[in-house]
């Protein structure tokens, strides 16, 4: 019997889930799909400055899992930028953090007026 899947904890969904060239067309060959958990990994490591270990703890998975997710997410970002493809963020194996909007104590961003945010010390405002 396979090991049960461990859901990745995500603090909030992206405000915009589609990025790309302004003159892009909507054909199936001209887009890259990034999952919400890949997006969250990029946000935590590259934007918030967390280590892979800290990111893993916050997302409730192993560091090696984060490392794999992070590598795939960066490949997708590079493909979108270099090849001029539309990046669409959707799907994945995640659950939204239960503390969304209330400061769950995991360094999560809070949701206020449709936007997620933290202060400079990753504390919920």
The helix/strand/coil state of 17 is coil
- Which tens digits make up the pLDDT trace of 44-80? 999 999 999 999 999 999 999 999 999 999 999 999 9
Global confidence as pTM: 0.75
Arithmetic mean of pLDDT, 102-123: 46
Q: Give me 17's structure tokens.
A: 């889930």
**Which element (helix H / strand E) includes 110?**
strand 110-112
With a cut of 50, say whether residue 98 has pLDDT above it. yes
**C-beta separation of 12 from 124 below 8 A:** no
**Which element (helix H / strand E) includes 22?**
none
- Which tens digits make up the pLDDT trace of 11-51? 888 888 899 887 766 666 789 999 999 999 999 999 999 99
């Amino acid at each position: 019997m396979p090991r049960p899947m461990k859901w990745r904890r995500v603090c909030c969904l992206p405000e915009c889930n589609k990025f790309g060239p302004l003159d892009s067309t909507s054909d199936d060959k001209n887009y890259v799909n990034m999952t919400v958990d890949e997006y969250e990994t990029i946000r935590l490591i590259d934007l918030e400055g967390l280590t892979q270990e800290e990111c893993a703890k916050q997302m409730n998975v192993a560091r090696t899992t984060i490392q794999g997710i992070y590598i795939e997410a960066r490949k997708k970002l590079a493909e979108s930028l270099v090849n001029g493809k539309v990046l669409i963020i959707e799907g994945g194996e995640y659950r939204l953090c239960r503390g969304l909007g209330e400061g769950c104590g995991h360094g999560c961003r809070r949701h206020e007026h449709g936007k997620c945010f933290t202060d400079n010390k990753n504390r919920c405002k």
